[in-house]
Structures are given as structure tokens and as C-alpha cells.
Amino acid sequence: MHPISLRTALLLGAGLAALTAVPATAQDAATDNAAAAEEAQTDTSNDIIVTARRRQESAQDIPLAVSVLDAKQLDETGAFNVNRLQQLAPTLQFYSSNPRNTAVNIRGLGVPFGLTSDGFEQGVGIYVDDVYYSRVASATFDFLDVAQIEVLRGPQGTLYGKNTTAGAINIQTNQPTFDFEGRAEVSVGNYNYQQARVAVSGPLSDKVAARIAFSGTSRNGTIRNVVTGEDIQSLDNIGLRAQLLWEPTDTLKIKLVGDYNKQDAVCCGSVFVRTGATQRPLNRQFAALAAAQNYAPPSTDPFDRLTDLDSNLNAGNVIAGAALKITWDVGPGTFTSVTAWRTWDWKPENDRDFTGLSIVRLSQNPSQQDQYTQEFRYAYSGEAFDFVLGAFAFDQRIDTQGTEQHGIASSRWTIAPNNALSNEPSVLNGLTARNLQFLKSTSAALFGQLSWKVTDAFTIQPGARLNYDKKSGFYQRRVFTGTGVELTGRETDARSRAQLAVFTPQESAPEDTDWNLTYDLTASYEVAPDVLAYGTYARSFKTIGINQNGLPTDANGVPIAAAGTIRPEKVDHFELGLKSQFWDRKATLNLAAYRTDIRDYQATVNNGQFGVLRGYLANAGKVRSQGIEADFQIRPSERFIAYASGAYTDAKYVRFTDAPCPPEFAGGTTVGAGQTPSAPGTPGGLSPANCDISGQRLPGVSKWSFSFGAEGNVPARVLGQEGEVYLGYDGSYRSDFSSNPSPSVYTFVDGYSLSNFRLGFRTQGGLNIFGWVRNAFDEDYFEQLFVGPGNTGLIAGLPGDPRTWGGTVAVTFR
């Protein structure tokens, strides 16, 4: 293990200081804690209070598919970010090649799988204390002082500020209190894993309370870079959140919140996985190109966890913001105002050729975002009617400055071997594309939902949303040779043509506006005590998109202006569900069946060239996701709890006739009139310009996924402390999934299962000490596979975490 860094030592010191900072009245606080814990343990029901519908109610009483994870489950299972959350919520999918290129999907829908563009909206909304986080990069940060997380499945637009078509992750943090309380936790483990978390809350006066929370996580990387000697895919996260609550009257609450989160990891890379034959001539496929430069990957076994990436790696990522929330009980209901500002600063460095050769020397697109949101809501609850009326405004600006530069090995790799220029490194060495772009996005909406209790058992719940969106963007790519000469794109000499085949100057300024009226209707019926049946229809949408990273070109190299904007998605969602509690509410069983049809699905298209980092957007004809979900939990006594959740997801392209071809069909000569595409992987064959992938599976979606686990405990006295010894297990399974937008035989990720164990001792006074092991059986699996650029047949991948183990000490005090 490496020596503990100064920063981490300070983190651990802060945590340990808080652990020992229990005041002299701790014995009284421990007594109060014991009473509260005993009362909680006596109640063995599974009644969980949620705010999914903007009011507090039992999760079992709402006609909505929702998974709820409390702080205890998150802490003890090590689910400290969304990536780990997916092991507890089988309908959630999370894929991240770096913080910017992160996909958070529910039921296979949400974000086009692949490299990210700023020009489209997210289909899964992330909310923290009612504030919408537009940057999906926020999903890579550690959860900070979280009380509960609700994963809502299906369209959310008539109750939430920002419309989302696939669902929402509603994160509730612990709030300021007028009684002193706190919590501190320190964890250490292998790979030099160190984490410290501290939260303290209490009164500043009889009307003002404050809460401050801090989290720091560091860990060595799990992949060894033989070129630099570094371990990449490390963790280095810091988070700080402060809240100030003022209650001037019994009916008015004003809360000011500020947060700062920073990542500074050696990230993000990949390892060599395999090669597969494409349509390119043999002398332009990976084996021949590598041999020509005496190159071999450091290992052909990806689970040796070795790489030789020669470009600097960085995933500098800062997300911060402030929010003002006003809650006022006025008239018969409650008025809420949430005003928020968020900022994002992204400083990446990547190796986009996935090899130890200096083909792409620089690949970096730093971005800066400012986001402002304002939401007003008025909520009323009565005997016969409940309703929520709201208004939402969103304004966003993103600026990006990109640099893509080729290195000394590029000419030999990129230019056809029969071209004499391929033997001249100077042709492409230093060739640079400088990209400048910005995006302005504005939206405004009116939304509302009514709940009418027709009878004590039967409720009708209609909702509607009127939405306006405007997007405008600018993109400019300037191209410079290694000697600093700017290319205009009109050069005709052989050297310039070879350079322009890699980077072509371009400028575009797409913009569009759109109005959308959407609605939903839910009917629910209590068929028996503690048994609720419901049915939902929702007509939803994902707003317009624009191609923010340059436009595709036609056969003559002319940008296709019509591709600058992307039509909104049109969503029809149907769902039937059943929620039940039985055995004196000691057990719950919830079932849901759904079908979601999306026309004009917004898909990411990548053309496999070095010069296209994030691809562009296009509308697929139609996709469909349908499936069945089940959630079961049982708590027969305070000594045992078990759960099992499962999902069958059938998500596919219903119609997508002009999709990008998978690598086995790509790289050859374009098919002409009267010609027939070659068989997959035929060297030097004919490639279709596009492929029909209708009927094939959407990327990133496992047909079967499960989460399951149990925990048991027995009373014990340890070192003079009364408490309980507990043993817990959490498992998950996901069947295979496609890791390419167009399914390829080379990029299917095999199914895998993970097992996590924990053994510990906790007291009713708030002390919890436990050891843990995650991926206990050291399962070899991939989080993602990547198709190398240039259609050479290279497949790279990101291995999932190996077995990790460690221990945690946590204390809660009042």
C-alpha cells in the first residue's frame, strides 16, 4: 500500500476527531438513541415514507413504481454513488467511460448509449432536495449526507420541474435540526481505499439551525499503466454541503444550501480486449497496423489489468451550486419556491486511440456550465382532492474548448499503406483540430396533477404539462498542420488531402424552438386492505436536440445542414401495477408491467473516425421497452430481513433502418448500385452506408437483472457495550448486454453476478463497526466495451472492480 497522502490524512483526522467529539451529555443522548432504536426495531412493518409526489406518504399507498433505499442500506452496502446504486436497483443502468460520458438509464431508456453530446436532454432526472441536476456527470460523485433515495420508474413530468421520459432519481439529504446531532464514519480497505464522512447539525438560535456535511474518498486505481507506472481508474473525491434553516414563524421556512464537489482522479482509460475482423483490407486492420510499427499490447488478457496508454489521463471535475428554498403554509395548502444555480467545470485528458502508440496525442474537450432554475409549486391535500400546481424555468449555457492532436505514429496508422505519405510521420504528426462551441438552452413549463378520491377505495389522478424549449448552439473547428499552418478545406495537394481526411474545418450554428403539451392519467383501486392496483397511461416527450459537435457530411464532404436539429421524442407509456402488504405488514410484494413506445428516438451516431469524438445525434424511427418487475421484502422480526427484486426488460429498436453499421460490417468500400454488401468480417469487402438494425436490442440493457440479499442479527455484549452482531449479504445479477449503439458480435458484455458480504457489531447508542468484502468471489466482468476508431477491429474495455475488502467505523450521536 502507498503511504497515506496529506490530504487523506486530514480527511481521516477530521473523521476521527468527530468520532471522539461526543459531548459530556453523550450518555443522555445514547439513552435517547437507544429508546428510538428500540422503538424502530419493534416496528417490523415495511412502511416507508417517500416524497415522490411532492408530499409525504407511504410508498405502498402511491400508484407509482418506485424503489426506496435508506441511508442505512446505502452506508452498509457501500453504495456511495449511482454506479454502486445499480446493484441494489435492477431497473437502473449506469455506464461511464468518464464523468462526462456517463449514461443513467431506467428500463433501458434515458440517454443514448455512447459518447455524450450536450445537444440533447437527459431522460432520467437527478434531483437533490428538489433541485434538478442537468449534468449527468453529477451521478459520478459520492452521495453526501443522504437520508433516502427514491428511484422513480416511468415518465415524470406532471409533478417534477424538468420533464423526464424514463424516470427520476430523487435524492433527499438530511436536514438541519434544532436538536444537536451528528454522524461520523471512517472506512479503510485494500487498494489504499480511504473514506471519511462527517455531518453535524444543530441550532444557532431558537429560529435558526445549520447543518454541515463533508465527504472524502480516495483509492488507488485498479489498472496498471506500464508506460507511466501509475494505477489508473483511481478515486479522489471531495464533497462539502452546508445548509442554513430559518423558521421565522410556524408557517414559514427558508433554507439556504451550498455545495461543492471535486474529483481529481487519474482517469479514465481502458485495456486491450480483443480484435475482430472488419471490412477493411487486411493491411489496414489492427494486426497488420500494429506489426508495421512493432507494437503489441502489454497483455491480451484484459483481466491482467494492464494498459499502455501513452497520453496523459485526467478527469478533473467540479460541480457546485447554491439553492434557496422557501416553504410557506398559506391558505389551505403549501407554497414552495426553489431557486437554484449550478456550475460545472470539466477538465479532461484522454487517450482516444486506446493504444500505447502516439496516434492521437491529445484528446481533451474542457467545458464550463452555468445553470439557473426556478420552480414554484402549490400543493393541497384534502378529503376528496389533492393537487399540485407548478411552474418551472430553466436556463443553461455550456462553453467548450476542444483540442484534438495526432502524434508521430499517426501517418503509418491512419494513411493507407499504398500511399507513400504513410511513411512520412510529419504528415499527421502535430495535426491539430481546435474546436470552439457553446450551447444556450432555455425552457419554461406549467404543470399540475390532481388526485380525486372518487370513493374510499377508488382514485383518479390526471396530470398535464405545457412546455416551451429553445436551443441555440455554435460549433467551429479549425485545423492546423504540425507546422502551424491553418487549413481552409479547399487545399488540393496530396499532403493536405491526407490531413483533411482526418480533420476538416467546419462551422455551424443550429437552433430550434418547440412547444409540447403532454399528459397522464392514473387510476388506482384498493382491492383489499393493503392491496393497491393501479393503471397508468402517459403521453410524454423528450425535447428537441441540436447537433452540438459538428455536422455529418455528405459524399462530397459538405456538412448536412438538415442534421443540425433533432426532432423531439414522442413517448406513449402504459403501466399496470399491484402493491401489497401482508403478514401484519411484515412483508411486501410489488409488481409492475409496462410498455413504453418512443417515436423519433434520439440516438447517438458515431462514424468511427478519429476526428469525431462524440459523434452526432439522429432520430431513429421507433424503439420500445416493455417488461415486468417485482420487488419483495420480508421482515418477520427485528432479527432478520430479506429482499429480492427482479426485472425482465425487452428493449429494442422497432424501426431503425439507417443506423451506423457495427464494426464487422464497417470499413470497406461503400456499396454502389447493384452491389451486395460483403459477409461480416470479409477483409476488403463492401460496406453498406447504413445498416438496418430494426428488431435488435437497445444497448446497455440486460434482459434479466436481479438484486437480492438478507441480514440477520443476534443480541450481543462486546467490550461492555450492549448491541447486536449482524451478518449481511447482498447479491446482484445482470444478463448479457450490447455495448455498442448498433449491436455487434464483438461488443456483447457477458452476464455476471456480484456478491457482497458484511459482518459487524452495532449498538443502540449509535456505534457501528463492520468489515466488508465486495465482489467477494472476484468475478471478472466488464462495465463497458469500446470499438476502437478507424474500423481497425480493435476492441478495448473497462473491467469492473475486482474483489475489494475493508472495514468501517461509524458513530451517530445526539
Cβ-proximal residues to 301 (8 Å cutoff; 6+ apart), any chain: none
CB-count exposure of residue 533 (10 Å: 0-12, 13-18, 19+):
middle
Does residue 676 carry a pLDDT above 90?
A: no
Asked if 393 and 373 touch (Cβ cutoff 8 Å), the reply is yes
Burial of residue 478, with CB atoms counted within 10 A of its CB: 0-12 exposed, 13-18 middle, 19 or more buried: middle
Instruction: Indicate if the pLDDT at residue 74 is higher than 50.
Output: yes
Grid cell 512520412 is found at 424
The radius of gyration of the chain's CA atoms, rounded to the nearest angstrom, is 27
Lowest mean per-residue pLDDT among 39-43, 140-144, 644-648, 664-668? 39-43
Residue 758: pLDDT over 50? yes
More confident site: 112 or 574: 574
User: Tell me, what's the pLDDT at 59?
Assistant: 85
Nearest Cα to Cα of residue 550 among 119, 114, 121, 137 = 119
Contact 348, 101 (CB under 8 A): no
Helix (H) or strand (E) holding 385, with range, is strand 385-406
Q: What are phi and psi of 86, to 5 degrees?
A: -65, -20
Q: Is the pLDDT of residue 798 over 90?
A: yes
Name the strand (E) or helix (H) holding 8: helix 6-19
Within 13 Å, how many C-alpha atoms sit on residue 733's CB side? 11
- Cis peptide bond prior to 661, omega within 30° of 0: no
Element (H, E) at 32: helix 26-42
Cell numbers of 276, please? 475482430
Are residues 797 and 787 in contact, defined by beta-carbon separation less than 8 angstroms? no
Stronger pLDDT, 6 or 449, i.e. the higher one: 449
For residue range 355-391, what is the model confidence (pLDDT) as tens digits? 999 999 999 999 999 999 999 999 999 999 999 999 9
> Among residues of the chain, what percentage have pLDDT more than 90?
74
Q: Going by C-beta distance under 8 Å and a sequence separation of 6 or more, which residues neighbour residue 611?
A: 404, 433, 502, 503, 504
Q: Is the pLDDT of residue 6 over 70?
A: no
State the DSSP H helix or E strand holding residue 203, giving kind and residue range, or none if neither: strand 193-203
d(CA 244, CA 242): 7
Residue 421, classed as helix, strand or coil, is: helix
> What's the rounded Cα separation, in Å, for the pair 471 and 469?
7
**Which of these, 743, 648, 758, lies nearest to 704 by C-alpha position?**
648
Q: Which helix (H) or strand (E) holds 71?
A: helix 71-77
User: Contact at 8 Å (CB) between 369 and 396?
Assistant: yes
At 304 the pLDDT is 98
Phi, psi of 556 (to 5 degrees): -95, 10
> Residue 655: its pLDDT value, please?
94
Instruction: Give 227: exposed, middle or buried? Use CB within 10 Å, 0-12, 13-18, 19+.
Output: middle
Length of the chain: 814
Give the closest residue to 309 by CA, choosing from 365, 234, 347, 359.
Answer: 359
> What's the farthest any 2 CA atoms get from each other in the chain?
88
Is the pLDDT at 226 greater than 60, yes or no? yes
